[in-house]
Amino acid sequence: MDVVEAVQRWLLGLMLACYLLAGVLPAPGEALRGLTLPFPVGTGALTVSMVLLAVMLFNAGLGVRVADLRGVVSRPVRLVLGVAANALLPLLVLPVVALGLRTWPDPAEAEGLVVGLMLVLAMPIAGGAASWGQNADANVPLVVAMVLGSTLLSPLTVPLGMHLAGHLVGPGGAGALDDTTTVDVVARAGAGAFTLVSVVLPCLAGIAVRGALGEDLIRRVLPAVKVVNLVNVLLLCYINAAGALGQTLAHPDPDLLVLALGLSCAVCCLAFSCGRWMSRWTRCDQPDGISLTLATGMNNSSAAAVLAACWFSHRPEILLPILFYSLLQKIVAGVAAKPPRPESGGVAAEYARLS
């Protein structure tokens, strides 16, 4: 599996290559994103991107050993703190961002950025936090438990975040966004159904399948699972970026690109800093502190991009901060964590590197 390990090491560069390909050759990605299956999800349709995301989360569930989580559940304080931080951070950060963007000359762009940042911040903790935690000598079972906890809460937290976004971008917020009605629809029906079908149920199904198949069989199939996950990650990067980057390059707006990148960077660094501050405030030991930092800073940007592409494909300013955040959180995680070690093992080695 040397090829797989090499791809994992160069995953960030490959994601950048997918973004570049999506910008110069967006048509295949837009065609794939437009494919739907005859199964309704809330008020929307089941798309190829949603299926790919569900497969990715199913494979993540296959990497979870329930036995490793029992010690974490018996000492739940830091687990609850990490899940609560993931749920509450967007409620504290986004109003400040929306207030700061009121002076931006194009209200539609400003409001689109607010919705995009809300989508990525409202998503559950990224499964990739476990992989980074493994390399940083973190308490990996604690990270995995935080991922599962925030995932189970996502059908509640994501609609709550969208409700807040609706208030921030409505007439009483930064201005009158033409997609305010769409934001309300997503908050009422689309977001909860999306996270349940594409995030929660696949993850639980993967955990159940692992328990049914047994450890010996799972250990043999996990290398193939890693290959599928890597293909999923890169394909989702290309599909999700095709619409936003294709439109952006066709009608370039340097000011919007700089603003989206700057906001994403500031919010990403703030999220990691909050995790670091909480670990010091609660006097965590180093493994628990790294776990809390990574869990607070890393969100499932793939799920956010799929949801944004399903409902706001015509608004590149909504997808741009999600795409930037997806890359930036991996860069910041590398700074927040220790340098990778050559050896690997345990639950995080089996837990797929997801975005």
Output the CA–CA distances (angstroms, integers) from residue 222 to 45, 207, 243, 290, in the order listed.
31, 13, 33, 26
290-349: per-residue pLDDT in tens? 888 888 888 988 888 888 877 777 777 888 899 899 888 888 887 776 544 444 444 444
Residue 172 reports pLDDT greater than 60? no
Answer yes or no: is 226 within a domain. yes
Instruction: Decide if 293 contacts 133 (C-beta within 8 A).
Output: no
CATH number at residue 34: 1.20.1530.20
The letter for the amino acid at 187 is A
In angstroms, the Cα distances linking 254 to 21, 55, 63, 268 are: 19, 36, 41, 21
Tell whether 102 is covered by a domain. Answer: yes
pLDDT of residue 176: 41
Task: Label residue 34 exposed, middle or buried (CB < 10 Å: 0-12, 13-18, 19+).
Answer: middle
Q: Which domain holds residue 178?
A: 2-350
Q: Residue 22: what pLDDT? A: 82
- Read off the tokens for 178: 């033409």
Task: Return the structure tokens found at 317.
Answer: 């300013």
Q: Which of 4-8, 107-111, 284-288, 336-340 has the lowest mean pLDDT?
A: 336-340
Confidence band, pLDDT 50/70/90 cuts, at residue 174: very low
- pLDDT of residue 257 exceeding 80: yes
Q: What pLDDT score was predicted for residue 354?
A: 42
What pLDDT score was predicted for residue 345? 44
Question: In this predicted structure, what is the pLDDT of residue 92?
Answer: 85
- Write the CB contacts of 321 (distance below 8 Å, at least 6 apart in sequence): 113, 116, 117, 120, 260, 263, 264
Q: Is the pLDDT of residue 350 over 50?
A: no
pTM assigned to the model: 0.79
pLDDT-wise least confident of 31-40, 181-190, 204-213: 181-190
d(CA 218, CA 221): 5
The total number of structural domains that make up the chain:
1
Give the chain's mean pLDDT. Answer: 77
Within 8 A by CB and 6+ apart from 94, the residues are 114, 117, 118, 121, 161, 164, 165, 168
| Range 97-119 average pLDDT | 83
DSSP 251: S
355 in any annotated domain: no
Residues 146, 295: contact at Cβ < 8 Å?
A: yes
Question: What is the length of the chain?
Answer: 355
State the average pLDDT over residues 112-135: 82
**Per-residue model confidence as pLDDT tens digits over 36-86:** 776 655 556 677 888 888 888 888 887 777 777 777 777 788 888 888 888
> Is 251 a member of any domain?
yes
